[in-house]
């Protein structure tokens, strides 16, 4: 039976690991608290704001993980062209995560899917609550600063049609909140698409992972608040999930 | 020396990293002489089947690999797309002939259960249909491996299937036909079980 995944998301600002809150770098870490044997998959995102910043420090981070972690690495941040994606793959990524680049130019998803296969193209969708759109949520791009007028389910489905193999849905308001995933938002996306959906932002305890799968319909639950995740905590989170009836890899 | 076939597609660095970790010397190459000098070959691959075959053809690799693998019987391990390329053909983006070393076509996954999402992404159990295959030495049946794919190889009639996985129906997840090995899953991304399997190929094939 296919297992639900617990994914660790690491965000780097100028090559330094940070936790984020409401999409701003919030807390700097000095160590990577990744239990490289229990983790199912790792998402590594470059959240450096300056588009002209030297990306070498970030690429080095990816290469280091690729050497030590024998699990899939999804890599993203600032990907605008197929060449950017190719660079992320060359330094050790197995999948690339696109967000604003796909909002600006949706064909980017297709270009990546055609070059590397759909399974390689992860569309990241950041959404805020909306009082204007019927869906109650609106997709934002550019570090959640720019409204797009799109409903998350519609954009996710468009992304799937363009070739995205997975969707990663993030609630901007829940980022760093530890209040749990925005389950209604997760459901809008999981019901709209047939590809696997990764849920992000808000997990503060093990129960939130279970809710994300059972109520949000998520294939994978993500967290970046790694101060919860010292050496043994990924393993204990998964033991908790299994006890609650969620199939996981122990 | 382990020749990792570079045909412009795929997670070559990941595979090379796992080979190094196991104490072998990986060479990412499409050069005929380097491939010929390699003890074993790995055909990795992430991407679409037609691109895969076109890239192999453009680099003259179909003839080079045919000579090394079929005539000289050098061991080869196909991974994911590299595994599918070993088959007769694929229906991904139309109909494309494959290398044809394993006698089975590649078709789209159609899980019997509509609730199952495609692509099939994540950790799933491997059933060892031929547990004595050297790839499985020291690996428990039903160990978990990392899969990520939309297409799958149909059951080869020549008995080369050595492992299956269930995703709304059993599909061929690993094959061996003499010196030709293949896995639909990614051993280089499957933690300890994957490294053990890859090590078995490198040491024992």
- Which ipTM was obtained for this model? 0.90
If one counts every other C-beta atom within 10 angstroms of the C-beta of residue A1, the result is 9
Q: Residue A221: phi, psi to the nearest 5?
A: -110, 135
Distance CA A88, CA B205 (A): 33
CB B30 within 8 A of CB B59: yes
Mean pLDDT of A173-197: 96
Query: Which domains can be identified in chain A, with CATH numbers?
Result: 5-243 (3.20.20.70)
pLDDT at A64: 86
Rounded distance between C-alpha atoms, residue A37 and residue A44, angstroms: 17
Tell me how far apart the alpha carbons of residues A31 and A93 are, in angstroms, rounded to a whole number.
21
In this prediction, residues A191-209 reach a mean pLDDT of 95
Cross-chain residue pair A120–B47, CB shorter than 8 Å: yes
Which CATH number fits the domain that encloses residue B85? 3.40.50.880
Q: Which of B27, B80, B149, B154 is catalytic?
A: B80
Q: Report the C-alpha gap between B40 and B35 in whole angstroms.
A: 9
CA dist A240 and A245 (Å) reads: 9
Residues A185-200 as b/e (b if ≥16 CB within 10 A, e otherwise) read bbbbbbebbebbbbbb
Q: Any idea how long chain A is?
A: 250
Average pLDDT estimate for A13-24: 85
User: Does residue A219 carry a pLDDT above 80?
Assistant: yes
Predicted confidence at residue A100, as pLDDT, reads 97
Chain B, 114-173: which have a CB under 8 Å from a chain A CB?
A: 116-125, 144, 146-150, 166-167
SS3 content of chain A, % helix, strand, coil (to 5): 35, 25, 40
- Domain total in chain B: 1
Instruction: From the candidates B91, B95, B188, B203, give the one annotated as an active-site residue.
Output: B188
Query: Cα–Cα distance between A238 and A4 in angstroms, integer?
Result: 10
| Active site annotation includes B188 | yes
Decide: B193 and B144 in contact? Cβ < 8 Å.
Answer: yes
Regions of chain B where pLDDT drops below 70: none
Is B92 among the residues known to form the active site? Answer: no
At B91-139, the pLDDT tens digits run: 988 899 999 999 999 999 999 998 899 999 999 999 999 999 999 999 9
Q: Does B50 touch chain A (CB under 8 A)?
A: no
Q: Which domain holds residue B173?
A: 2-204
How close does chain A come to B47, measured CA to CA in Å? Answer: 4
Strands B26-29 and B2-5, bridge-based pairing: parallel
Q: Which of A185, A166, A98, A148 is nearest to B122 (CA)?
A: A166
Contact at CB, A120 and B46, closer than 8 angstroms:
yes
Contact list in B for residue A198 (CB cut-off 8 A) is none
Distance from CA of A246 to the nearest CA of B (A): 13
Token pair in block for residue A243: 């006890």
Q: How big is the A-B interface in CB pairs under 8 Å?
A: 99
d(CA A75, CA A94): 8
Nearest to A195 among B119, B147, B189 (CB): B119
Q: Is B149 a catalytic residue?
A: no
Contact flag A1-B189 (C-beta cutoff 8 Å): no
Tens of pLDDT, residues A5-14: 999 999 999 8
With CB atoms and an 8 Å threshold, state whether A94 touches B122: no
Q: How far is B72 from chain A (nearest CA, A)?
A: 31
Q: B119 and A220 in contact by Cβ < 8 A?
A: no
Q: Which residues of chain A make contact with B193, given a CB cutoff of 8 A?
A: none
């Amino acid at each position: 039976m296919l297992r639900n995944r617990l994914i660790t998301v690491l965000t780097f600002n100028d090559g330094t690991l940070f936790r984020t809150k409401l999409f701003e770098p919030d807390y700097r870490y000095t160590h990577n608290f990744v239990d490289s044997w229990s983790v199912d998959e790792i998402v590594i995102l470059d959240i450096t704001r300056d588009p002209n910043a030297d990306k070498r420090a970030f690429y080095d981070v990816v290469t280091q993980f690729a050497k030590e972690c024998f699990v899939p690495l999804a890599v993203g941040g600032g990907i605008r062209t197929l060449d950017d994606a190719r660079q992320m793959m060359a330094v050790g990524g197995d999948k690339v995560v696109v967000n604003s680049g796909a909002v600006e130019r949706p064909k980017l998803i297709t270009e990546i899917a055609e070059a590397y296969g759909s399974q390689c193209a992860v569309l990241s969708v950041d959404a805020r609550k909306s009082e204007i759109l019927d869906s109650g949520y609106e997709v934002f791009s550019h570090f959640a600063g720019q409204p797009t007028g799109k409903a998350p389910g519609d954009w996710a489905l468009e992304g799937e049609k363009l070739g995205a193999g997975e969707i990663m849905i993030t609630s901007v308001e829940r980022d760093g909140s530890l209040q749990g995933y925005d389950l209604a938002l997760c459901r809008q996306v999981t019901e709209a698409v047939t590809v696997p959906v990764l849920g992000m932002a808000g997990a503060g305890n093990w129960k939130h992972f279970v809710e994300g799968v059972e109520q949000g319909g998520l294939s994978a639950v993500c967290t970046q608040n790694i101060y919860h995740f010292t050496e043994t905590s990924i393993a204990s989170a998964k033991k908790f999930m299994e006890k609650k009836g969620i199939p996981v890899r122990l | 020396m382990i020749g990792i076939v570079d045909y412009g597609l795929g997670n070559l660095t990941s595979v090379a990293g796992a080979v190094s970790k196991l104490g072998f010397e990986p060479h990412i190459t499409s050069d005929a002489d380097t491939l010929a000098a390699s003890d074993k070959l790995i055909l990795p691959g992430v991407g679409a089947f037609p691109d895969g075959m076109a890239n192999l053809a453009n680099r003259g690799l179909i003839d080079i690999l045919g000579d090394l693998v079929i005539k000289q019987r050098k061991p080869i391990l196909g991974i994911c797309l590299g595994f599918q390329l070993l088959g007769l053909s694929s229906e991904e983006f139309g109909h494309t002939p494959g290398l044809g070393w394993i006698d089975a076509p590649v078709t789209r996954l159609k899980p019997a259960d509509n609730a199952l999402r495609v692509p099939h992404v994540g950790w799933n159990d491997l059933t060892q249909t031929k547990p004595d295959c050297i790839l499985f030495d020291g690996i428990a049946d039903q160990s978990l491996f990392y899969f990520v794919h939309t297409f799958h190889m149909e059951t080869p009639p020549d008995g080369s299937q050595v492992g299956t996985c269930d995703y709304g129906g059993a599909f061929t997840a690993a094959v061996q036909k003499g010196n030709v090995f293949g896995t639909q899953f990614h051993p280089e991304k499957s933690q300890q079980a994957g490294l053990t399997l890859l090590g078995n190929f490198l040491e024992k094939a």
